[in-house]
Amino acid sequence: MNIIIQIPKSNEYFMKSLLFILFCSVCIILNNGLTNAQDAKTIIEKADQLVRGNTSYSEMTMKVVRPDWSREVGIKSWSKGRNLALIYITAPARDKGSAFLLRKPEVWNWIPSVKESLKYRLR
């Protein structure tokens, strides 16, 4: 299954800026001498934290392409750190209102058509 995340043209500048900021963050970390006795994973995590911050919000469209059909799903998402996240489905109409809540170690799924929530436990 191929999943393509399409970024509207108005957000291309934003994505290029985000990549530039990530690159600059890594360069700053390297130039400040913070790499002493640190492995690559630690350096990348620090750069990721500089770009991500404590909270984030995004709106996107995900396009799923299969050999005999394709579909687009509109998504809004919020996150706070790595342990809290909410994903809300905005399109298509039949899935609108579905939501996923990550509250580690649990994931909750709300399905409005059956008015029921499901709980999953992460390992």
Instruction: Provide the pLDDT for residue 2.
Output: 46
112 and 96 within one domain: yes
Instruction: Provide the pLDDT for residue 35.
Output: 47
112 and 100 within one domain: yes
The ranges of the chain with pLDDT < 50 are 1-2, 35
Contact 104, 118 (CB under 8 A): no
45 and 104 within one domain: no
117 and 80 within one domain: yes
Which residue range forms the structural domain that includes residue 97?
A: 54-123
pLDDT above 70 coverage of the chain, percent: 67
Residue type, 94: R
Name the residue with tokens 């005999």: 68
Q: How many domains, the chain?
A: 2
With 0-12 / 13-18 / 19 or more C-beta atoms within 10 angstroms meaning exposed / middle / buried, residue 25 is middle
Q: What is the CATH number of the domain that holds 89?
A: 2.50.20.10
Q: How many of the other CB atoms lie within 10 Å of CB of 92?
A: 11
Angle at 102 between CA 100 and CA 103, to 5 degrees: 140
Tokens of 98: 């579905």
72 and 120 within one domain: yes
